[in-house]
A = this chain, B = another copy of it.
Amino acid sequence: MNCGAGSRLQKTKMLNGFKFNGIASGIKKNGARDLGLIYSEVPAIAVGVFTTNRVKAAPVLITQKRIRSGTAQAILVNSGNANACTGDKGMKAACQLSTTLARRMKIKEEMILVSSTGVIGVHLPVERIQGNIPTLIGGISPYKIEEFAQSLLTTDTFPKIVMKEVKIGNKQVEIWGVAKGAGMIMPNMATMLAFIMSTASVHPATLRNLLKEGVDQSFNRITVDGETSTNDMVLMLANGKAGNRILTRKSKEINRFRDSLFSLLFELARMVVRDGEGATKLVEIRVEKARSVNEARKAAFAVANSPLVKTALFGEEVNWGRIMAVLGRCGVAIDPGKVDISYGGVKVVKHGIACGSEEKAQGVLKQKEFTIVITLNKGKGCFQASTIDLTPEYVAINSSYRS
Contact = CB atoms under 8 A, between A and B. Distances in A.
Size category of the binding interface on chain A: 35 or more
A384 to B, nearest CB: 22
Tally of this chain's copies: 2
A84 to B, nearest CB: 6
A205 interface: no
B85 A336 contact: yes
Interface in A248-268: none
Contact of A321 (B85, B183, B186, B337): B85
Interface string A359-403: 000000000000000000000000000000011101110111111
B315 A401 contact: yes
A82 interface: yes
A222 interface: no
A87 B227 contact: no
A399 B315 CA distance: 4
Contacts of A28: none
A326 B120 CA distance: 12
Interface string A56-98: 1000000000000000000000000010111101100000000
B395 A321 contact: no
Nearest to A329: B228
Given A226-B307, A402-B317, A328 B55 contact: yes
A291 interface: no
Contacts of A333: 54
A121 B318 CA distance: 11
A42 interface: no
A232 to B, nearest CB: 10
